[in-house]
Structures are given as structure tokens and as C-alpha cells.
Structure 1
Amino acid sequence: MSGLSFIVPTEEHAQLLLDWRTRPDIAGQMLSEVPYDVERQKAWLRRCEARDDYVHRILCVDGAPAGHVSITVTDPAWGIATLGVLMGERAGRTGAAPLNFAYMLNHVFYAMGLRKVVNHILGTNSPRLLKGQPLIGYRPVGVLARQVVKGGQEIDLHIFEMLAEDWRATRGRFRIYEDMDGRVWE
């Protein structure tokens, strides 16, 4: 184990998640805007519990919360999902923590049995993040030029996709066979 673990968020995590989700450096990379309202955040967490098209966890590094990860089923009939990753603490951006995608992809393709992941990443994200997607096994689909407007700024939207068989062919390089709930898929 790499010191990573995942816990299901509860209402007790509302303040922590809200602080991360509204921090300018993080909010600027998100497609949605989140108002700073703890009660609204708690209501969102309650709605998440009732959803069958959404799975999310708090990523912990050595037991301490460091980020939030999510899987949203965007098309259940076609077995397609998208991933969301928010690293709220430095520990979530260094060391083994960036390997969170392996646990997430194992969860998508094995625990959930989906067939494809399609991710949308703002062009204002780190160039390392964009360049790293093919190294994980994603195929660049293309760029929607000036697709998103945030704060009056037009931002490119990069699209990447991965099929289940792509992940099966790639995941051995990372040697992580667990999903976000600790189940091993070999």
C-alpha cells in the first residue's frame, strides 16, 4: 500500500470540502462554481448519498485528508463515466498521491463494470497534468477551443478518453490493483 486510502465523505466533511472547493486556485480549475455555504454543502453531500450515478471519496495520505475524487456515470446505457480530482492539500499533489487515478480507474472498470472514461480538463491546468494523460493510458480526443468562459476568460477544454481494455493493458505499469474501497482486482 502506498499510504493512500479513501473514505466516504459525510456531512462532517462539509466544511473541509467547501474550503477546498472554493479556494481560488482550485475553483479556477473546476467546471462548476460552488457558493460558500456550509448548509448547501451538507445538502449536496446528502444528495450524493442517494445517487447511483456518482461515487466519491476523500483521498487520504497517511490517514490525513488530502483531496476529493469522484466518478460520475455520464451515460449509464453506454457505460461511460468521467473522473473528478481535487487536491486540497500539498500531500495530495506529491509522492504517491498522484497515483489516485489507478484506484479510481480500477473502481470504474472493475467495481462498477463501466466500459469507458471521458475526461474534460481545462487548459489552464498544469501542462504536466495534460501531458501526463497519455502516460496513464488516455487517448487525446481533441481540444474544444475557448469552450469555457470563467471570469470573462475564454478557456480551452481538453478531452481525453480511455476504454476498459486500454486500462487493462496499461495498469500493470503502476502495480496498483485495488479500487477505492480496497478490493483487489487482478
Structure 2
Amino acid sequence: MSGALTFIEPTEDHAELLLDWRTRPDIAGQMLTQVPYDVERQKAWLRRCAERDDYVHRILCVDGVPAGHVSITITEPDWRIATIGVLMGERAGRMGAAPLNFAYMLNHVFFTLGLRKVVNHILGTNSPRLLKGQPMIGYRPVGVLKRQVVKDGQEIDLHIFEMLAEDWLAVRDRFRVYQDMDGREWM
């Protein structure tokens, strides 16, 4: 296995796979929202996603095998701001080159979509490595909303990070990834 990353557009055929990942307790516990285990509802969601112009998502594949789901949501179209989401459903998505998925996503955000800023919200229950790694990628910590999210009666901090297009341009050479999620080169 080479660890090569590719991204494919999800179809209704991926509904059960995505739902299995999304409802797994270790993944669902790190997400802001919960979804019921309903394959038909998941298929309807995939159909709605295909019609949206403010949402781009892909299945991340490692050596051609689905390993996770990544998304870009344009939250403020007039201000050209988005947020990104990453869900790693398989171990291969957390090893080797797969953690570099953010580089493909950020190239997609800033070059393909022409946006100017990404703002991300990360639950404090996520891995400390994830939170500490954000500035190394080029994100600036904005702050922490203390006890902002309540899940299963537990109050959870919400960490906010932001990145401007010029911030990404300043650090992206260190990752040596110049493709977007669709394989377009952005040198």
C-alpha cells in the first residue's frame, strides 16, 4: 500500500457506509450534531447535498479504499467564508499521508472555490493533538467558548480557529500538496 489519497463524490450507494461511520460512538461523540441510524434519510441527505452550491463533500480514499468523509460548507457566501469538516471512519484515514487531507481541502477552499477565510469549531473533547496541531497547519486560535456545547448532559468547550487565504499560502509549501480534492494542480 502506498497511502495514495484520492477523493470521490459520495452517491446514494455510500449512504450506509457514511451512516455507519457517522453513528459510531467514537465519531458521533466528537460531532456537534447527532443523526439517527436511518439509511433512507441518509440517502435523501445525499440527494440534497448534490443540489447545494454552498456545500462540497467527498469520500477520502486511501489506496482507493474509502477511509473518511470530508466537507466544505460555505457559511458566509458574501464574505467568502467556509468551515471544513473531517470524519475518519477507518484507521487508514488516520495514518500515513491521510492526515494531509487538510491540504487538499484548503487548496480546494482557497483556489477552486476562491474563498478568503476558513473558520472551524472543534469540540474540546477531541484529541489534544488535534487542537495543538491547528496552528502548525496555519490556523490562528481565536478563542474558546467555555462550556458552549451540551451533549448528553455534559458541558463541552468549543475551540475556534481561523485561517485566511494568505495564511495558507505562507505555510502550504511545507506540506508539498498542491492538488485540490478533485486532482487539480494549484502551484
Give the drift of 1:37.
0.1
Question: TM-score, length-normalised on structure 1?
Answer: 0.99
The match for 1:36 is 37
2:124 matched to which residue of 1?
Answer: 123
Alpha-carbon distance in 1 for matches of 2:20, 2:182: 25
Map 1:128-139; keep pairs closer than 5 Å. 128-139=129-140
Q: Distance in 2 between matches of 1:94 and 1:159?
A: 25
Q: Separation in 2 of the partners of 1:57 and 1:43?
A: 16
Alignment partner, residue 62 of structure 2: 61
Aligned pairs (5 A) from 1:3-152: 3-152=4-153
Q: Which amino acid aligns with 2:68?
A: G
The answer to whether the aligner puts 1:165 opposite 2:166 as a matched pair is yes
Show structure 1 runs of 4+ deviating over 6 A: none
CA distance in 2, matches of 1:37, 1:156: 29
Secondary structure in structure 2 of the residue aligned to 1:104:
helix
What is the DSSP-based 3-state SS (H/G/I as helix, E as strand, rest coil) of the residue aligned with 1:179?
Answer: coil
Instruction: Give the partner amino acid of 1:83.
Output: I
Asked if structure 1 preserves the Cα contact closer than 8 Å seen for 2:71 and 2:84, the reply is: yes
Aligned pairs, how many? 186
8 Å contact kept, 2:122–2:158: yes
**Counterpart Cα distance in 2 of 1:82 and 1:6:** 18
Partners of 1:174 and 1:71 in 2: CA distance: 20
The separation in 2 between residues aligned to 1:172 and 1:109, in whole angstroms, is 15
| Unmatched tracts of structure 2, length 5 or more | none
Query: Identity over the aligned pairs, expressed in percent?
Result: 83
CA distance in 2, matches of 1:133, 1:2: 23
Q: How big is the shift at 1:111?
A: 0.1
Give the Cα separation in 2 of the matches to 1:95 and 1:2: 6
- Following the alignment from structure 1 to structure 2, what is the Cα–Cα distance between the partners of residues 123 and 163? 23
Gaps of 5+ in 1: none
CA distance in structure 1 between the partners assigned to 2:136 and 2:47 by the alignment: 36
Counterpart residue type for residue 150 of structure 1: K
Deviation at 1:2, TM superposition (A): 5.5
